[in-house]
Structure 1
Amino acid sequence: MGREFLDLFEEWAETYDATVTGVDPQYRAVFANYNEILNEVASASGGTVLEFGVGTGNLTEKLLDSGYEVIGIEPSQAMREIALEKFPELPLLEGDFLTFPEIKSADTIVSTYAFHHLTDSEKEIAVRQFSKILSSNGKVVFGDTMFESVAVKDKIIKQAYDRGFTNLAEDLEREYYPTLDVMRNIFTTHNYDVTFKQMNEFVWLVTAKKQ
């Protein structure tokens, strides 16, 4: 999932769980309602769930607690080690949104805070691959940072710089955060019905049902 960011994932492994609790003021708004976001993704899931970007296993825990069969995909070795310490029986495979071991089928594909590591063209390739994996009437459920428009994104970046949140601002400029229209077009092009629900200033819940 954007292997160019793999070093960043490795660095985040030890601090990620603390960051999502809001200890870093720069990212507090990004992770606002974090537990609710995970719960929403889990409650919208069903059947066999394929999770991309398992990270430290926070969403995985919600999925397993809901009784789903979960298959995990994670590119970072450090993240995989942490997740496997929590869930040693979890089928956790090395891979990313574009390159991963063969998965025969899944009923739901989920991810949180990860899809933005792909360029828009890579996002489209990933969604095309999802269609081959998903069962009939399967769905994709993502919680991720995206913006209503480029103007909104630019405004939030400026606000981050004005507040002295340089790391956040640079992240927003460097990574591939899409607009809602871009995400809608990618999914509808591949025959999904897609809906959006805003979870905080940055994160939207995307539910795309395969037609």
Structure 2
Amino acid sequence: MGREFIEIFEEWALDYDKSVMGEHPQYVDVFANYDAILNQVVQQSLGTVLEFGVGTGNLSNKLLNAGHNVIGIEPSEAMRNIASRKLPSMTILDGDFINYPYISVQIETIASTYAFHHLSDIEKEIAIKKFASVLPRKGRIVFGDTMFKTEADKQLEIEKALDKGFTDLADDLNREYYPTLDIMKNAFEKHHFDVSFKQMNDFVWVITADKK
């Protein structure tokens, strides 16, 4: 459920916004076109949005500015605190992609950036199945996240990171559950979503999945 990584995010919270703005050399390529990635997710979002992995609230802020009602889910207390200070009027709840409080309002879009890869492939499918039960017909999932065309592409990025001396990035790519496009496509289609992918940088793709 991704909670095995909470300690990392508790420690990263204060510096997270510096990282996404390119101040951490090892992650410059991962966060390349960061604003464009968030904007693409916003552009694809419909109606009331349930956002997972709110982090410091960067996507939330853009969604709110675009006129969406947003309910946030975030497992890291340190991240929730920062996001709540930025966006005091927004509801941000403790939870993760699979275990989160009951949401009483109708959700049209489930959105997330840089978070879904914290779930194993089995957990990803459990989450997608749950999302299918939450969303109405023609409801939408929009995720911006690191994934790879093939496992070989992932291994190539690990080798490139090591060649540059980027051991933190290489460890990250080995440790977390970055999927391939076919795994994501199969998981969404199994639960009756039409899915498309748009590559945003060498690491990140935006997935748009519409419930049939």
CA deviation map 1:105-152 (0-9, x unaligned): 310000000000000000000000101111221010000000000011
Note the C-alpha offset of 1:103.
Answer: 1.7
Letter in 2 for 1:187: F
Aligned partner of 2:120 in structure 1 is: 119
Structure 1 stretches lacking a partner, 5+ long: none
Note the C-alpha offset of 1:44.
Answer: 0.5
In 1, Cα distance between the equivalents of 2:195 and 2:32?
Answer: 23
Note the C-alpha offset of 1:46.
Answer: 1.2
**Aligned 1:84-163 pairs, distance under 5 A:** 84-104=84-104, 105-163=106-164
In 1, Cα distance between the equivalents of 2:70 and 2:156?
Answer: 38
**Aligned 1:26-45 pairs, distance under 5 A:** 26-45=26-45
Contact 1:103 1:133 in 2 (8 A): no
SS, match of residue 209 in structure 1: strand
**Aligned 1:1-211 pairs, distance under 5 A:** 1-104=1-104, 105-211=106-212
Structure 2 stretches lacking a partner, 5+ long: none
Percent sequence identity over aligned pairs:
60
In 1, Cα distance between the equivalents of 2:208 and 2:72?
Answer: 19
How many residues are aligned here? 211
TM-score (norm 1): 0.99
Note the C-alpha offset of 1:21.
Answer: 0.6
In 1, Cα distance between the equivalents of 2:181 and 2:71?
Answer: 28
Note the C-alpha offset of 1:192.
Answer: 0.3
Letter in 2 for 1:133: V
Q: Cα RMSD over matched residues? A: 0.6
In 1, Cα distance between the equivalents of 2:87 and 2:139?
Answer: 25
SS, match of residue 137 in structure 1: coil
Note the C-alpha offset of 1:25.
Answer: 1.0
In 2, Cα distance between the equivalents of 1:37 and 1:166?
Answer: 25
